[in-house]
Structure 1
């Protein structure tokens, strides 16, 4: 039989990273374990001495369906009502402007007063925004305080918090699991990132653990941010808010707002004339390659399913859609013609992809395992190569657009 010291309930059930389940477990502990609630608000830097009533609610909707807050914690603290807006993240990334939407919905809406009345709370509001994460991520909105599960675990341990309620016991078991199984990997990857040695980072992809993929996914974003800081381009570096990406890696985009047709400003509703180019970067660990996918997108943006629906409804005419496809083909052909005549950095491969949006992929290898006294790639050398390729794409797009515009194709 297993040693009970090594037994973790959620791991045994295969639910260690079920975010919804963990959110409900936290909510239950806040509702039923006063020692945990006291400890939690201390971790959130809001100690209280006069807690009279506590209500925690999970999945609270503010204003609309997009603003579904993981946990709302209400505490009657003397004459004040302390409200904690808690966004719980394990490995999931933040949605597009999610933190700001939540902040605006809570501070500008009337739901708070309705909830206070419903649960019998009275007094002045003190609102606290908490971003509870596994790896110490920062919310995009600076009103949120970043708190980690490790912070909570350490406070419970150092404060010798003891409680025999079932919800607390299960939660403490889970926090111990994260401390024992996740924290060492987080520390190791933090050290690798701080050294900025690509060889050490990429070596981590050869180590297969049940959690490795999720942790590497989180730190890939850090790596790309390091690259962008080392080599400044004229592209806007921003997080890609898509959870699906190759090999579990987070994608990041470099966008240029002026990559729209000249008629876009004057003809916002003219589908055939509105375009943008997006450079989207992803890391493919099995061949140590940074891919920059070049997307040629319509404005407004319509995936194929939406495009067909808009055509069927008559929002977009078949003539406009056919004209757009013809213009797109002319542009892509000229782009690749120019790419073939361009000198790219060693090892870089540019290929054509004929999907509805992506028209080219620039594959930039991470150079490792060099011989003859040649140096392996560093963050700096890889960043320069990415920057060079991005500049080439920029120039090629501008040239192709200018030539086609002269003959009134676009």
Structure 2
């Protein structure tokens, strides 16, 4: 507990330095002035979420190292909203610590089932479970959990949505996410209600743009971005919305698309996602795709993703196209087959209309009518 005491002293000094009064802290935490004073005197037990919010108030952004240390040393029950915070902020270290701590508290058996769901989602985040196994286990949990709370039920259904996205079954997501959004207000915990609502809206954004529901997606995206607390409370989700909005305009409006993507990249440069290299990788890959598609090479490409490296070479000369085919063969060796984008890139490298038509079918099978425009436009221009 000595480290917690030290961290609280540092937070206290930071608040004084920024001239943030106790009453302002109390207001933002939703507690009394006396409670805040007692927290800094170490006379009041401080919950995980209170400490997490204190770091945001003092430093202007969540202090992930402080939060990880607090979660390791705190000796009281882990609340589910702390695990949701860790997931929402893509802090896999904190989520792992919280799961382990909760596992140690055997007397809290009622919370074990939802902890198991977060453990499953952690495995997915770390890439340590196949999408099929992830789906199978989450489906089993729906029937095995006794006295299931509404949070657990919604979270397990969100797992199903993530499987549909991972397996490129986009058309399955929209109706389920819409239905779950209606149930979210039944959740009593305000933080969980907001966090689950945002998760579902991002799922709608990600899959809705692929169904060409552009107006609805822009409306959802702007509604989230216009919330003054969204960036501070959910930087990861805020960034996700920026990337989705950039994708909406990826094929039709380069300037608009790159505007949103540059904002997302700016957050990466500011160190928002140092603990999540996978997310930085996705943003860089999206950036490469947009620039390659529009032949915009003023800035150097990242080319960390094999498929985008293949995309780049597929649009080059005959030697480049050979390189593209070699890379695509490497992807086949790694994944077993090419997805719809890989098939489009192969058709591009070979200048093969039949393959282009096959890629259209693959895009349609996934419910991705947005990116199906890629091979369709190619055939249209070819003719």
Bigger helix fraction: 2
TM-score, normalisation: structure 2: 0.33
Bigger strand fraction: 1
TM-score, normalisation: structure 1: 0.31
